[in-house]
Amino acid sequence: MPDATTLYLILPEITLAVFGMVILAVDLIWRERSRAALAWLTVLGFVIALATALLGWGWNMALFAQMYVVDTFAIFFKLLAAIAGILVTLVSLDYLRDRTPYRGEFLALFTFAVLAMMMMASSASLLMIYLSIEFLSYMSYLLTGFLREDKKSNEAAIKYFLYGAITSALMLYGLSLLYGISGSLNFADITATFAARNDVPTRIVALVSTALVIAGLGFKISLVPFHQWAPDTYEGAPTPVTAFLSVGPKAVGFAVLLRVLLTALPAFKNEWIALLTVISVLTMTLGNLVALRQKNVKRLLAYSSIAQAGYILIGLVSVNLNGASPFSGLNGVLIYLFAYLFTNLGAFTCVIAIENATGAVEIDDYKGLVKRAPFIAALFVIFFLSLAGIPPTAGFIGKFFVFGAALREGFLVLAAIGVINSVISVFYYFSVVRAAFFEAGKDTAPIRLAPPITFSLVVSAALVLVMAVYPEPFFNLAAWSMGMFGVAK
Amino acid sequence: MTVHHFIILSAILFSIGAVGVLLRRNPLIMFMSIELMLNAVNLAFVGFSRFLQLVDGQVFVFLILTVAAAEVAVGLAIIVAIFRARDSVDVDEVSDLKG
């Protein structure tokens, strides 16, 4: 029986597990009309999880035989997970009501997906990493294929599933090699082993397994060359699920990658930096170039989110935790992920609002949008400015810290490629804005917004702007969140 | 039988599974190949576990087996949904999403 402290620290996970099961049970019992309340029950669960996650702030404890860590770094990602959960639930209300009678199941699966994200953020052993990643993957596959009658949704799910199963097998093989060579599943023991043993065979096996682990996590983060599933899955999945996939699994994928590389494999830092630098350049460039010729907004945002992963990777490549510089790379990753969460969810919320009203997701259908829905059109500009990294938006702050870290570490070429890519990205982001503002559309009926969608749009847009004009609290939040690595607070 | 035998056999099985996934086009066969990859990993874990005289590798294998069962449930559910919508499960014919 775990002691009271342990239970206190895993309260957010307990909350979500309970809420997920209650939603499933209540969905069976309640009549059709009262099921609308299920979404509010889900939101309540996320709010409680958010509050209880904050209770554990500053504890830094390893639980369950050192397999599960609750530190400020994990809590940072739990906050992200809960916020993403709240916003996605709010925007999914109308979308689901129009398309499926099984809303309770959807909300339960979604609650479990957020629970899996929280568990990933806290994982500190090879076993927990495997279990939590698979947990999140299965929930994502089911959510992607949730519209069972819809051929596109099915196709998105099977592609996602096959890619996911293959990469998770690759990662698992890497984990088994890592276990064999280090004799432990625990990160601290693995670090100690590699610090003591440095012969060539050990290094070769460790490098192979590092590459395999990066493959498995690269799939979740959608890094090139493990990105092929992303455009198809993003296009075919129900749009709220796409919004979730583009921020949730990506953010915690980075959390696990950071934790594994920095706390279990620091002995091979030079090698994984070299590998990730190449991946980062490929990811940014391919994502941006292919996005240029997209006609479907969901697909465009899919390639855009691949490119964004490349930028975030620059921060990971330039991690340097020595010294008190404001550009440690790690804080760049955290700030970028925080900015990206609100920006990308906001952009997808606009897409969902338009899709709810018109059913259209092609760029051509956005012509004349400014007359039909000036509010959405204006917010689109804000979110796209942020995605492109133009001030005064949160995306600029994120890119500032990420590129700043690259410059500090002397990766001038990498930073230059990142900046060039940001410029390229302006073209395709603004192809949508041009269609919305400067071209006349056939349909001129105004688009109405449901209150929950308006709320989440306003919250996202407000945070995108506030982060830009008053970044200090977010900067401090990122700095505190690096506690686990023994960094200056 | 040393640990090398286990690891080499595991590598061979894993490669057969990986080649199967890449070459076959029927999702059920791809599925079986993935299971072969997972079982190759299990063999490696058991081999290492015996070599290291530690049980945690064996525990890992139990959990992989359990999770693989869940994976089959999810995967088959998706395949059944596709078959109902299209009367075919060949992955080359499942290609509405392009660009």
- Tell me, what DSSP letter sits at residue A296? B
**Residue A291's closest chain B neighbor by CA?**
B99
Tell me, what's the pLDDT at A62? 86
Unique residue bearing structure tokens 């930073």: A415
Distances (CA, A) of B13 to A181, A216, A463, A480: 20, 19, 51, 46
What are the chain B neighbours of A180 within 8 Å (beta carbons)?
A: 3, 7, 44, 47-48, 51-52
* Tens-digit pLDDT string for chain A (489 aa): 678 888 999 999 999 999 999 999 998 888 777 777 889 999 999 999 999 999 988 788 888 888 899 988 999 999 999 999 999 999 998 888 888 888 889 999 999 999 999 999 999 999 999 999 999 999 999 999 999 888 899 999 999 999 999 999 999 999 999 999 998 998 888 988 888 888 888 899 999 999 999 999 999 999 989 999 999 999 999 999 999 999 999 999 999 999 999 988 888 889 999 999 999 999 999 999 999 999 999 999 999 999 999 999 999 999 887 766 778 888 899 999 999 999 999 999 999 999 998 888 898 888 888 888 899 999 999 999 999 999 889 999 999 999 999 998 889 999 999 999 999 999 999 899 999 899 887 777 888 888 999 999 999 999 999 999 998 888 888 888 886 564 333
Which 3 state secondary structure label does DSSP give A6?
Answer: helix
Using CA atoms, how far apart are residues A443 and A63, in angstroms rounded to an integer? 58
Residue A157: which of B38, B45, B78 has the nearest Cβ?
Answer: B78
Contacts of A238 in chain B (CB under 8 A): none
Query: Between chains, do A130 and B64 touch, taking CB under 8 Å as contact?
Result: yes
Between CA A329 and CA A313 the distance in angstroms is 9
CB A222 within 8 A of CB A184: no
- Kindly determine whether residue A169 and residue B45, on different chains, have CB atoms separated by under 8 Å: no
Identify the bridge partners of residue A186 per DSSP, sorted by sequence position.
A125
Q: What is the pLDDT of residue A488?
A: 32
Total domains in the fold of chain B: 1
In a domain, B63, yes or no: yes
What is the length of chain B?
Answer: 99
What is the pLDDT, as a whole number, of residue A3? 86
The 10 Å Cβ neighbour count of residue A430 is: 16
In a domain, B19, yes or no: yes
Q: Please answer yes or no on whether B81 and A148 come within 8 Å at the CB atom.
A: yes
Task: Give the phi and the psi of residue A186 in degrees, each rounded to 5.
Answer: -95, 135
Cis peptide upstream of residue A2 (ω within 30 degrees of 0)? no
The minimum CA-CA distance between B1 and chain A, rounded to whole Å, is: 16
Query: Looking at chain B, which residue has its C-alpha nearest residue A132?
Result: B67
DSSP A261: I
Domain boundaries, chain A: 269-489
**Residue B99 to residue A299, Cβ atoms within 8 A:** yes
Residue A289 with chain B: CB contacts under 8 Å: none
Q: Are the beta carbons of A180 and B63 separated by less than 8 Å? A: no
How far, in Å, CA of A132 to CA of A119, rounded? 6
Provide the sign of the torsion angle of the four alpha carbons B87, B88, B89, B94, taken in this order: negative
Express as a percent the part of chain B with pLDDT over 90: 66
What's phi and psi for A445, nearest 5 deg? -65, 135
Q: How far is B56 from chain A (nearest CA, A)?
A: 8
Please report where in the chains the tokens 């999880």 appear, as a residue.
A49
Contact B97 A176 (CB under 8 A): no
Inter-chain residue contact B56 with A157, CB threshold 8 Å = no
Q: List, in sequence order, every beta strand (DSSP E) within A175-264.
A: none
* B76 in a structural domain: yes
Q: Is residue B25 part of a domain?
A: yes
One-letter identity of residue A346: G
Task: Answer whether A424's CB lies under 8 Å from A289's CB.
Answer: yes
CA A348-A349-A352 angle, to 5 degrees, is 85
Quote the Cα angle for A55-A217-B78, to 5°: 95
Closest CA to A393 of A321, A335, A348: A335
Hey, are the CB atoms on B70 and A138 less than 8 Å from each other?
yes
Which domain does B60 fall in, by range? 3-90
Phi-psi region of A47 (alpha: psi -120 to 50; beta: other; left: phi over 0): alpha
The sign of the dihedral angle between the CA atoms of A171, B73, A232, A299 is negative
pLDDT score recorded for residue A33? 72
CATH code for the domain in which residue B84 is found? 1.10.287.3510
ipTM: 0.94
Q: What pTM did the predictor assign?
A: 0.94
- Best CA proximity match to A72, nearest among A121, A111, A131, A133: A121
> Which DSSP string do the residues of B34-63 spell out, in sequence order?
HHHHHHHHHHHHHHHHHHHT-SHHHHHHHH
Residue A414 pLDDT: 93
Place of tokens 């999945």: A237
Q: Report yes or no: A138 at the B interface, CB cutoff 8 Å.
A: yes
Cβ–Cβ of B54/A296 closer than 8 Å? no
**Is A158 within 8 Å of B21 when comparing Cβ atoms?**
no
Q: Which residues of B touch A126 (CB under 8 A)?
A: 60
Q: Tell if the CB–CB gap between A173 and B59 is shorter than 8 Å.
A: no
Query: H-helix or E-strand containing A61?
Result: strand A61-63
Residues A142 and B74 sit within 8 Å (Cβ to Cβ)? yes
**B96 domain-assigned:** no
Asked if the C-beta of A289 comes within 8 angstroms of chain B's C-beta atoms, the answer is no
Dist. CA B5–CA B98, nearest whole Å: 44
CB B45, CB A135: distance < 8 Å: no
Nearest to A145 among B54, B57, B78 (CB): B78
Contacts of A397 (CB under 8 A, 6+ apart): A335, A339, A467, A468, A471, A474
Residue among A131, A142, A235 minimizing CB distance to B74: A142
Q: Is A211 exposed, middle or buried (0-12, 13-18, 19+ CB in 10 A)?
A: middle
Residue A161 sits at the chain B interface (C-beta within 8 Å): yes
On whether the CB atoms of residues A344 and A351 are closer than 8 A, the answer is no
- To the nearest whole Å, the CA of B17 is away from the closest chain A CA by 10
Contact with chain B for residue A41, Cβ under 8 A? no
Query: Which has more confidence, A102 or B92?
Result: A102
- B60: amino acid identity, one letter: F
- Test A162 with B47 for CB contact under 8 angstroms: no
